[in-house]
Every structure is written in C-alpha cells, then in structure tokens.
Amino acid sequence: MGSELTETNTSSDEVAPTLSAVAKRAGVSSITVSRVVRLPDLVAPETRARVEKAMRELGYVPNLVAGALASAKTNSVGVLVPTIANSIFADTVQGLSDKLEPLGYSVILAQSRYDAAREDRMLAALLSRRPEAIIMVGSPATEDGKRLLRHARIPIVETWELPIDPIDAVAGFDNYQAGVAVARHFIEHGRQHLAFIGGDDPRGTRRWLGFQDHALACGLQPPRRLILERNASGSVAAHANLPGVDAVFAANDAHAIGFMAGLRKAGLLRDGPAAAQPVAVVGLGDLEMGRLISPSLSTISVHGDAIGRTAATLTLERGGERRIDLGFELVLRDSG
C-alpha cells in the first residue's frame, strides 16, 4: 500500500535496500555482504549463496556513492570535450570508454562548447565529483583551469595536441606539422595560392600556423585564412571569398566536404584525379564519408579512437612514458 509500483512477489518497499538490510535478511554482518559484492573469494561458498539470495530477493543495488566516500575511490573518470555531436571527438570518447567501462570505471562527460568560462565551470564540476582522472581535449584555456587541474593530484591527460608544458600526460599529435605536411604536399604538386578554412580553436590555429609558415618558407604568397562557423554549411559558400585560390586545407573533413559542395555548384569540381581539380582540397579527420563521396576526399588521417584508448591507458598506468604522439598520416585521394 502507498506504492503504485509494487509488482513482484519479492517485497519492493518504499526505499532502496541497503547493505545492512541484506545483511539482516541473510543473517550475517554487513561487512560480509560488502565482501560478497567486492571480494567474493573471501566468503565461504554457503554464506555467499545465502547473501546472494538475500540480495536477489531484495533487489539490492549497491550504492557506489557511499562506497566511494568510504573507500576514497570513485571509479570514475571525468571527460571534457568541446562538443560531442557531429565530431571526431565522439570517436575519442568511444575509444576511452570502451577501455574504461569493462574495468568498472564510469565516464562523466562534460562539454565546453569551445567556451573558456564554461570549460572552467565544467572542470570544477568534474573535479567536485572526485574522478580518478581527467581526460580532456586540448589544454585548459585559462590559468584558472590549469591551476585547478594541477592541484587535483590525479592523472590528467590532454589529448589531440602535444602541449609543450603539459599538466601531466599527453596523447595526441602535432597539429602544426599536420599543417606543414599539407602545405608541402600542395606545393610539391604545383599549387601556388593556398588557403585555410575552419575554426579558430587552438588546434585549428596550430594547423593554420604550420600551413602558413611552410608556405611562406617556400616563398609562396601568404596563404589566406577563412574562419568559419562550426557547422559545415558555411563552408559551402567559402570559395566565393577565396578568388584565385587553387588549394584549400580545411580544418576538418566536414568543412572540406562542405567546401567541395560549393566548388561543385561553381563548376570547379571534377570526378577525375587530384591533378585534374581546379582547386585541390585536403581535410582532416578521415571521416568514413570522405572515402565514399566523389571525388574522394584527401585528408590528414587521425585516429580519434586510438587517442581515446591511449588516454585511458595513461590514466590507468602511472609509470612509463607520459607523452604519446599518435602521429597522423596524409591520405591522398581524388580531391587534392
């Protein structure tokens, strides 16, 4: 009575059963129940069976909040990404949680939306849940954020970059060199008028810098840079703002594909090989989609899931190398 949810024969009362409720029912002390849950080998088979029966009958679900407080272990990791939607970071989250979940860790996910203030708030929110480690994309944008992490005394893994003075561990690649690689490729294939399109987030900017520096070092005219909104639609119209440009490095594959849609409308896209393209296009991220479209998209291939898995490993193992360069690969297809 009083509850509209009673439905099984096993009494489902008002409140969630606790360890000691199970203990009472099984006729043991609560620490024994605790052991059945966490260290079953320490409990005699018969006792264990009795306790397990009581747990089943009561529908006992352990309270990890209390367990975490008592043991000072939350078995959780905080994950901070700029955004999870339509993005390569989803692969990283997938990779790291595939590694961590089987080990009993939970992932607490937060998004900064490329906003420094929100990033700081999210970092503080994550830390107040006392995760065993923090994995984030990039580095904290503010000194406050950095200080927060440095004082947290847990493993911190920065990803998707190789910061010079990391807080703790790093799993990423060299965005600057990625920019250099694309510029070199364009120049080797006779392109003269380069441009970069994409966001102005730290990683995009680093790609731009490498791209620009290499172009200048090779004596080309200064490449152009077009900063776009985060969604790819803006990139469709981008070529109108880039007259005379014959090679474009897009900060990610979505922008690259959007840009190609614009080229197509302008009659500047061929189904032939890269050499036939009036405007060469290279993206970054190696989306599956880029392989499927026509002309297929050349891209800097980065293994987002490997970054995630490596980051997870870095949170688990304290010793060993704390700075892992996963590298990247220039994959040439038909777009440039």
Partner DNA sequence: ATTCCCCATGATAGCGCTAACATTCGGACA
Partner DNA sequence: TGTCCGAATGTTAGCGCTATCATGGGGAAT
CA distance 136 to 308: 10
- Residues 225 and 198 sit within 8 Å (Cβ to Cβ): no
Alpha helices by DSSP H, the chain: 19-26, 30-38, 45-58, 64-71, 89-100, 116-127, 143-150, 175-188, 202-217, 233-236, 253-265, 288-292, 304-316
Q: Which residue has the tokens 């440009």?
A: 245
Task: Note whether 318 binds a second copy by CB under 8 A.
Answer: no
CA distance 92 to 256: 21
Cβ burial 3-29 (10 Å sphere, 16+ → b, else e): eeeeeeeeeeeeeebbbebbbbbbebe
* Residue 28 CB, nearest approach to a second copy (Å): 21
* Residue 104 CB, nearest approach to DNA (Å): 12
- The residue among 14, 12, 75, 23 whose CA lies nearest residue 53 is 23
3-state secondary structure 258-314: HHHHHHHHCCCCCCCCHHHCCCEEEEECCCHHHHHCCCCCEEEECCHHHHHHHHHHH
x/- track of binding to DNA for residues 47-66 (CB under 7 A): xx-------------xx--x
Task: Note whether 298 binds a second copy by CB under 8 A.
Answer: no
Q: Which is nearer to DNA, 72 or 103 (CB)?
A: 72
Q: Which is nearer to DNA, 54 or 228 (CB)?
A: 54
Provide CB contacts within 8 A for 142, sequence distance 6+.
116, 119, 120
* Given 42, 49, 116, 124, the residue binding a second copy (CB under 8 A): 124
* Given 5, 72, 103, 292, the residue binding DNA (CB under 7 A): 72
Task: Note whether 103 binds a second copy by CB under 8 A.
Answer: no
- Three-state DSSP at 227 gives strand
CA distance 149 to 119: 12
Task: Note whether 11 binds DNA by CB under 7 A.
Answer: no
Q: What is the CA radius of gyration of the chain?
A: 26
Task: Note whether 116 binds a second copy by CB under 8 A.
Answer: no
Which of DNA, a second copy, none has residue 212 at its interface (CB below 5 to 8 Å by kind)? none
Task: Note whether 125 binds DNA by CB under 7 A.
Answer: no
Task: Note whether 9 binds a second copy by CB under 8 A.
Answer: no
* Given 9, 45, 288, 319, the residue binding a second copy (CB under 8 A): 288
Site for a second copy in 154-213 (CB under 8 A): none
Task: Note whether 332 binds a second copy by CB under 8 A.
Answer: no
Chain residues binding DNA by CB under 7 A are 15-16, 18-20, 27-32, 34-35, 37-38, 42-44, 46-48, 62-63, 66-67, 69-73
Chain residues binding a second copy by CB under 8 A are 5, 7-8, 12, 16, 59, 61-66, 68-69, 74, 76, 79, 83-87, 90-91, 93-94, 97-98, 101, 104, 106-111, 113, 122, 124-130, 147-148, 150-153, 231-233, 236, 254, 257-258, 260-261, 264, 288-289, 291-294, 304-305
